[in-house]
Structure 1
Amino acid sequence: MSKLVTGAAVVVALWSAGAMAQAKYGPGTSAAEIKVGQSIPYSGPASAYGQIGKAETAYFKSLNAKGGINGRKINFISLDDGYSPPKAVENARKLVESDDVAVVFNVLGTPLNMAVRPYLNQKKVPQLFIAAGATAFNDPAHFPWTMGWQPNLQAEAAFYAEHLLKSRPDAKIAVLYQNDDFGKDMLHGLTAALGDKAKKMIVDSQNFQATDPTVDSQLITLKNSGADTLFLFTYSKQAAQSISKLDDLNWKPTTYLHLGAASVGATFKPAGLEKSKGILSAGFLKDVTDPRWANDEDVKEFFAWMKENLPQADINDSLNEAGYMYAKTLEQVLRQAGDDLTRENIMKQAASLKDFRLPLLLPGSTINTSATDYRVIKYMKLQRFNGKTWDFVE
């Protein structure tokens, strides 16, 4: 009898040890939940982008309703930073030190992510899938806890330069750029890609502060430069102002727009759909409003999700689609992490995505990350806005 009891005790002990070995938790994680933090502008000059946070909130809520991730609910704490770097730093400290989150997710804007990056790397907190494309955010050797998501800014600018050099090598270029790391990174990418032709082709460049009320004076100056091509390295507010001002000035340059501002709802509708016709931008997502994708199963699923979870949102606003995709990427990483929910393993899984296919990426695009290459989205196609949707430019 004593041998049976002893044997049972050994089995129980081994089972308990195995169960303990299976689940490893770090800050913000437990058998019940995974805490995810965010700082994003629900107010201020970039408040249009707060819609991303709203879509992500809805996504995690819908995910929790289905049981969460590996049986754990997502506790999503999304704070307003007003597009202010000091406020973003304050939020990051609160999320880490008070809210005890496992990861800080999808902070928007190059200057804000630059501001919080040193702190989060010092604390070894994953700064995942940020909504900023600065080339500096693919630097795992120096900042191993920071990973971007969208195509990096210099690669995007070079993508436009390559098209321009092939189609109109004698173009006269004007550039409007935000006077921070974001705008300067894009300007650098354009200049580098144009190479020896840059000094001759770029006839003028004007910058602005994110808090400036308008960019009218800059557009007037750029028109007077004699340029026939315009690069808008801006976010949605200034992009809409620029498109509207171009119409006022009756200036019709070939216009390339930063992909982060290429939103029908946040940019083209405020500017005027007719005024926005002809705008060029890099695409990497399916335009869900385009009839070409009407029978696409992934697009149908997205529409059904929107109807159920964000019924009041503008279906034309691509920021809803962006939030949906960011959230799905984080979901994949957390699923891969399984029961090892330490910050170290979450970061390891983010850098171990293999042929991962997000449903609304353009055909031909898959995600592969590694410990030495943190770039998530690499595939782009040039597209032109036709007043309603986008046409691919071959």
Structure 2
Amino acid sequence: MSKLFRSAPGGLRGLTALSGVLVGSLLLGACGGGSTGAGGSDEGSGDIVIGSYGPLSGPAASISVLYDGMQAYFDEVNAKGGIKGHKVRLKVQDDQLNPAQTPSAARQLVERDKALMMCGPSGSPTTMAVKDYLEARNVAIVPGAGSSELTGRTSYLQVPTYTPLAAQLAQYAVEDMDMKRVAIAYSEDSVGKPTVAGARWQLEQMGRKPVAEVTYNATAPDQSALAAKLKAAKADFVIINNTAPVISQVFKAADKIGFRPQWGTVWPALNKNLLELSGGALDKGNIVFSSPFILGDAPEAGEYRAVLDRHKPGLDVTDTIVMLGWTSATVCHQVLERAIEAAGGKTPTREQVVAAMPGLTYDDAYVNGLRWTEDNRTGQREANVIGVKNGKFVALTDFRELPDAPENQR
């Protein structure tokens, strides 16, 4: 038996650590109803409430499968007795991935639902909109995003930051693909800035410079101006990072003017939705991804597929956003387990959950090399490169140590 589901009263012993459109303010699966008491548990039940927010409706609603992956994980935990006897209730609020709506969603989770921690909330800009609020209330955060500025007193990343992932793409383009003219397209936000910084740094380490660094508006419906600039730079490899709905518009605009470079992007867009939204622009498999996750259809992911089939049948197991939900739940599980131990088996306080985060370490088939300390709150340090062949995602490399690109550059 794998170390993922060992038989023990606490269930899932040893864990440390965008397709379906869901509309409205959703309480997923086993969330249930009833009032919640202070400390993040149902009064008299011992259940633990954890919260998250993300786009359950609107243009980015395909990301909502993240919460399906998370719910399937916790459904399995609860079926095996919960975490040291405590059942987990996941509550998710819809913010449409809009930072203007996130504060209201976070307040409902913290003040009404008494969520003990935030597990896998979507989006760097949205989490930045509520990070100070959550920290002021001692709410632990394990973001479902990779911007280094998300780290803080109560916030620790599970996934690597975008900076070393972008550096890995630049390294792979030059050293593995022998690309000569690498360009970077980026949005002026917490997703784009670390991407351009990491890619630029890695190119400098190899004695190169990008042939173009082009900014774009991620909310613009027409990306033809960006495509024209990249084509004029004669780029043969373009590094870009955003969600599938955003970068698919770039790919379509480039294809429309006959510009078909090799594209390099990061895990948030690694799903079949990207291939469909791109309208044939990626039919030749001209894209690679830097990802900290194994593919959901890999032999090592058998337990993951079995649990999804039991609790959330029909999910696309190859969608990296589903895998993100699973791994986020994995890490939150271990934080809670450590906190419950510190509380003597009782429901922990928010302060005890925060105190359980530094010192957490974990490795398994799904979470590679997580090491949290007081000084290092960033995520995993390994990733592999994924490509597309005949419409199917395939691993092009083994997991590699990510380049040591410094954070917070500009």
TM-score under structure 2 length normalisation? 0.79
Contact 2:161/2:379, CA 8 A, preserved across alignment: no
* Structure 2 residue matching 1:201: 3-state secondary structure: coil
Q: Which residue of 2 aligns with 1:321?
A: 323
Q: Pick from 373, 378, 398: which aligns with 1:375?
A: 378
Q: Which residue of 2 aligns with 1:147?
A: 156
- Residue 345 of structure 1 and its aligned partner are, at CA, apart by 2.2
- Residue 351 of structure 1 and its aligned partner are, at CA, apart by 1.9
Identity of aligned residues (%): 22
Moved more, 199-208 or 313-322: 199-208
Structure 1: distance between partners of 2:173 and 2:316:
33
Q: Is 1:85 matched with 2:99?
A: yes
Q: 1:42 to 1:358 in 2, by over 3 A?
A: farther
TM-score under structure 1 length normalisation? 0.81
Contact 2:49/2:91, CA 8 A, preserved across alignment: yes
* Higher gyration radius (CA): 1
- 1:101-123 Cα offsets, whole Å, 9 max, x none, are 11122111111111111111112
Q: Is 1:126 matched with 2:133?
A: no
Q: 1:161 to 1:94 in 2, by over 3 A?
A: same
- Residue 272 of structure 1 and its aligned partner are, at CA, apart by 5.4
Contact 1:206/1:222, CA 8 A, preserved across alignment: no
Structure 1: distance between partners of 2:59 and 2:178:
36
- 1:243-284 Cα offsets, whole Å, 9 max, x none, are 334433332212111222122x23123325762603111132
Q: Is 1:241 matched with 2:249?
A: yes
- Residue 151 of structure 1 and its aligned partner are, at CA, apart by 0.8
Contact 1:282/1:382, CA 8 A, preserved across alignment: yes
Q: Is 1:207 matched with 2:222?
A: no
Alignment of 1:205-284 (within 5 A): 205-209=214-218, 211-263=219-271, 265-271=272-278, 275=283, 277-284=285-292
The one-letter code matched in structure 2 to 1:195 is: E
Structure 2: distance between partners of 1:360 and 1:269:
26
Moved more, 268-277 or 29-38: 268-277
Q: Which residue of 2 aligns with 1:95?
A: 109
Structure 2: distance between partners of 1:108 and 1:276:
30
Paired residue total: 353
Q: Pick from 30, 35, 46: which aligns with 1:32?
A: 46
Q: 1:266 to 1:168 in 2, by over 3 A?
A: closer
Contact 1:231/1:256, CA 8 A, preserved across alignment: yes
Q: Which residue of 1 aligns with 2:29?
A: none
Q: 1:370 to 1:236 in 2, by over 3 A?
A: same
- Residue 312 of structure 1 and its aligned partner are, at CA, apart by 2.5
- 1:105-155 Cα offsets, whole Å, 9 max, x none, are 21111111111111111122111x2011112234xxxx2111111110111
Structure 2: distance between partners of 1:384 and 1:282:
9
Q: Is 1:384 matched with 2:393?
A: no
- 1:41-86 Cα offsets, whole Å, 9 max, x none, are 1123322211101222233233223321111111211000001112
Q: Pick from 171, 177, 181: which aligns with 1:172?
A: 181
The one-letter code matched in structure 1 to 2:76 is: S
Structure 1: distance between partners of 2:83 and 2:194:
37
Q: 1:367 to 1:207 in 2, by over 3 A?
A: same
Structure 2: distance between partners of 1:45 and 1:179:
20
- Residue 324 of structure 1 and its aligned partner are, at CA, apart by 1.4
* Structure 2 residue matching 1:184: 3-state secondary structure: helix
Structure 1: distance between partners of 2:217 and 2:180:
24
Q: CA RMSD in A?
A: 2.5
Q: Pick from 28, 48, 60: which aligns with 2:62?
A: 48
Structure 2: distance between partners of 1:271 and 1:93:
36
Contact 2:179/2:237, CA 8 A, preserved across alignment: no
Gaps of 5+ in 2: 1-36, 399-410
- Deviation >6 Å, runs of 4+: 196-199
- Residue 343 of structure 1 and its aligned partner are, at CA, apart by 1.7
Structure 2: distance between partners of 1:58 and 1:393:
29
Q: Which residue of 2 aligns with 1:5?
A: none
Contact 1:215/1:241, CA 8 A, preserved across alignment: yes
Structure 1: distance between partners of 2:136 and 2:75:
31
The one-letter code matched in structure 2 to 1:322 is: L
* Structure 2 residue matching 1:130: 3-state secondary structure: strand
The one-letter code matched in structure 1 to 2:40 is: G
Q: Which residue of 1 aligns with 2:311?
A: 309
- Residue 370 of structure 1 and its aligned partner are, at CA, apart by 1.4
* Structure 2 residue matching 1:181: 3-state secondary structure: coil
Structure 1: distance between partners of 2:233 and 2:380:
35
- Residue 169 of structure 1 and its aligned partner are, at CA, apart by 7.5
Higher helix share: 1
* Structure 2 residue matching 1:389: 3-state secondary structure: strand
